[in-house]
Structure 1
């Protein structure tokens, strides 16, 4: 009876070991599949970024596409790490080899961060022979990034009162300066409040809930009141930045969409950006940008923004800017300079159409001279020999073809606005650097913006 029980136990142990081995193998396969999905998402994201770099930005929709692809890659990477950890736990009980993901070399931690040195005490004697004659050979340092949690405190400013025994007058030090009236909040809190709202694009109701979870209960009306007061206090600084930007000889202008949370549906607002950036020209003036908000894209907005400014405006071919270039504009018409970052898309599409259909005849590819065509007769010869084919012989191409549509935009404006900006080609990305937190605004606010 004992032998049969022992045999049954051994049989159950073998079945359990086999089941654990199968489970470990399944977990390993899941980890491999999750790793492949993460790598595929990363490659798709890198491919889309390179296409945008090579061919230019097609529309504002590409920004949303990149944001969505980054979110997809984030989810795949998280799932892959989780599956790898579970596969390692399952493999630890069996003889199945665990799956280890290939990761890039770890980036060094920033040098400007303070270092806290924690030394693990060495043994007093040799663990092998017990001798106390130990000599230090070196040390191994492992760096771990850590954060100090936010701490709240109340600063009590005490002003003592004194009474004179001779004249019975009461004296007291004057009240300190406060950023906002009544001094309920300190400057560090106000800076954090403004950055979270306008820099990280966290609405005040989310900030209120987070503060409440940390034990600080503040009403939404109080936070909104502080934001309004700070905006009025910072208005002189904004006016100085605006005067600095409008003192430039050339500006880069553009607008971007902003989802606005309306009463019944999500509306689309606009943020107008004007950038002063003379660094590619060796200018000593520091770069700066000003922003204006509007509920629509009517041409009256850029006209009012640049009412008293004169100079060269580099922007896209939006018709709303046309009033700025009229000869009867006061104080003077602006000089148009189209942005080269909008042309690669048309140029590359058109170039591909030439190579596939040919301009010289049916089934023939146009020669280089024919592709260059009459480009560059009045501009820099380098533009004609190296840049995109602008004024070319595309008359034989059908008006409904891709080649004709792609080239018509750039060719018609070549001699003036495009060629004027050729020497400015190193500065064509100034407007693209205007608002690095635009994607953060859409992601954190769920695609909506509070009015």
Structure 2
């Protein structure tokens, strides 16, 4: 026992000596606090130069022989409050003394017929409503606080008149988008005010963008609005379209892919993102993690996704991208070929315990 205590004391002394030598030889850099650097203001903003008058005499000795050495500039960001104004367009009348006729210049142009709002005001109302999602009643209240009386019905009339004025532009965008060889379609929910309640409407979006495939046509997006999600809406939107449609597994698109469709069936183009949730139930998982580890490791997260080979196998990838078909995809581009990775024990392909179902609008394949 005494020998063991002596060995422990000797080891402790050696450790203390080694710690002292390491402290003497090592250098610790002092902490240097960095001054916060402010991001400079954008260069496109106009600068208003305010020069403070320099002293005419030296504040120390009173001499008037001063020479400029330089200057220091302090920038302050400021905003000009919104200002309202009324533009009076005066049209003078003249009477001819010979024929007694009255001559007068024509009335100024307005965006809306017999309108009173200028183009800047109309653009602000539309941007606040559709760009900033500010309802017209809130806009009316805010304008009232600024001393401008614009009722809710008046603003609604102006929005409707602008929509009618912009309809030819929408028609040109519609013609350009529907003339594409392939479209990306999707819909999203949007609240719509109703009498005493709020309905769940839909915004239907169809995008034309061939830049990833070497296309030269400019990209564009076409929008439609509806109060529900019935299948008659995509049928009406894509009535004149014939080509490839990439969309989700919403059943409302099924009539577009039927063989008896006029002028012809559309070609389906789907991806593995919609089938990921169902297929991941048959993939091997890691043991349960403790409560402290809430975030799974990267290797565990990657198992919930299809393999790289199956991910590249996109339905109709040969026709939708203009590239040759990848390994695992058929030439027709009508069916999805799925090669599942290592499945969990007891979940063999097409086994009774397998719950992996690839859900497509007109195709359901179980593994």
Normalized against structure 1, the TM-score is what? Answer: 0.56
- In the alignment, what sits opposite 2:326? 380
Alpha-carbon distance change, 246 to 183 in structure 1, aligned in 2, over 3 angstroms:
same
Structure 2 residue 118 is matched with structure 1 residue 186: yes
The answer to whether the Cα contact below 8 Å between 2:257 and 2:266 also exists between their aligned partners in 1 is yes
Alpha-carbon distance change, 138 to 334 in structure 1, aligned in 2, over 3 angstroms:
farther
Q: CA offsets, 1:14-73, max 9 Å, x none?
A: xxxxxxxxxxxxxxxxxxxxxxxxxxxxxxxxxxxxxxxxxxxxxxxxxxxxxxxxxxxx
- In the alignment, what sits opposite 1:38? none
Matches within 5 A, 1:369-408: 375=310, 379-381=325-327, 390-394=339-343, 396-398=345-347, 408=357
- In the alignment, what sits opposite 2:216? 284
Alpha-carbon distance change, 379 to 288 in structure 1, aligned in 2, over 3 angstroms:
closer
- In the alignment, what sits opposite 2:97? 165
Q: CA offsets, 1:215-240, max 9 Å, x none?
A: 11122222222211111111111111
- In the alignment, what sits opposite 2:83? 151
Alpha-carbon distance change, 256 to 303 in structure 1, aligned in 2, over 3 angstroms:
same
Cα offset, 1:145, TM superposition:
2.1
CA RMSD across the alignment:
3.6
Unaligned residue ranges in structure 2 (runs of 5+): 1-33, 288-299, 314-323, 330-337
Higher relative CO (CA 8 A, sep ≥ 6), structure 1 or 2? 1
- In the alignment, what sits opposite 1:266? 198
Distance in 1 (alpha carbons) for counterparts of 2:281 and 2:263: 40
- In the alignment, what sits opposite 2:15? none
3-state SS of paired residue (2:358): helix
Distance in 1 (alpha carbons) for counterparts of 2:159 and 2:309: 58
Distance in 2 (alpha carbons) for counterparts of 1:124 and 1:189: 50
Alpha-carbon distance change, 408 to 119 in structure 1, aligned in 2, over 3 angstroms:
farther
2:286 pairs with one of 356, 362, 385: 356
- In the alignment, what sits opposite 2:47? 115
Alpha-carbon distance change, 137 to 273 in structure 1, aligned in 2, over 3 angstroms:
same
The answer to whether the Cα contact below 8 Å between 2:177 and 2:220 also exists between their aligned partners in 1 is yes
- In the alignment, what sits opposite 1:50? none
Matches within 5 A, 1:11-410: 105-339=37-271, 342=274, 353-356=283-286, 375=310, 379-381=325-327, 390-394=339-343, 396-398=345-347, 408-409=357-358
The answer to whether the Cα contact below 8 Å between 1:373 and 1:392 also exists between their aligned partners in 2 is no
The answer to whether the Cα contact below 8 Å between 2:190 and 2:202 also exists between their aligned partners in 1 is yes
Higher helix residue share: 1
The answer to whether the Cα contact below 8 Å between 1:245 and 1:275 also exists between their aligned partners in 2 is yes
